[in-house]
Amino acid sequence: MRARTARWVAGCAAAGSLALMVGGLILAYVDRHLVPAHVTNWDFSDVFGDMANMAIRVMGFVLLLGGPGTGSAGWHSRRAWGWG
């Protein structure tokens, strides 16, 4: 796989995943009064957990940016997977 393709695939996966999580949060907010209290995901710890999970995507996105010579992990991971 070419480096540019790998970057696009990873970027799209991270962006798609972030969009899905934001969508989930919006639905949790909309339904906060419509579902029983023990089922709702709209409380501080759940929302904070979702935020922490979003950070994983942001980190993956950061790691896959950049190229050789920039000291970024994008190059390291592509090299490790034999993509670059």
Partner 1 sequence: MGLGLSSFADQYEQRALVAAPGSLPAGPAALWVSTWIWPISLAMVAFLFLLFPTGRLRSRRWRPAAWFVGAVFALSTAALMAGATREWAHPSASFQQLVSPPVLAAMVICFPAALVVSGAAIVVRFARSAGEERLQLKWFAAAAVLVVATFIALILTNSNSVAAAILNNLALLCLDAAIAIAVLKYRLYEIDRIISRTLAYTIVTGLLVGLYAGLVLLATQVLSFSSPVAVAASTLTAAALFSPLRRRVQQVVDRRFNRARYDAEKMVAAFAVRLKDTVDPDAVQADLATVAQQALEPAHVSMWMNNGGYDSGSGSSSSPSQMPASFRAW
Q: End-to-end CA distance of the chain: give it in Å, rounded.
A: 7
Number of separate helices (H) and strands (E) present in the chain: 3, 0
Question: Which of 3, 6, 11, 72 lies at the binding interface for partner 1 (CB under 8 A)?
Answer: 72
Q: Which residue from 2, 5, 8, 20 is in contact with partner 1, where contact means CB under 8 A?
A: 20
Question: Does residue 55 interact with partner 1 by CB under 8 A?
Answer: yes
Q: Does 1 engage in binding with partner 1 (CB under 8 A)? A: no
Position 59 contacts partner 1 (CB under 8 A): yes
Q: Does 71 bind partner 1 (CB under 8 A)?
A: yes
Q: At 28, which amino acid appears?
A: A
Residues in the chain: 84
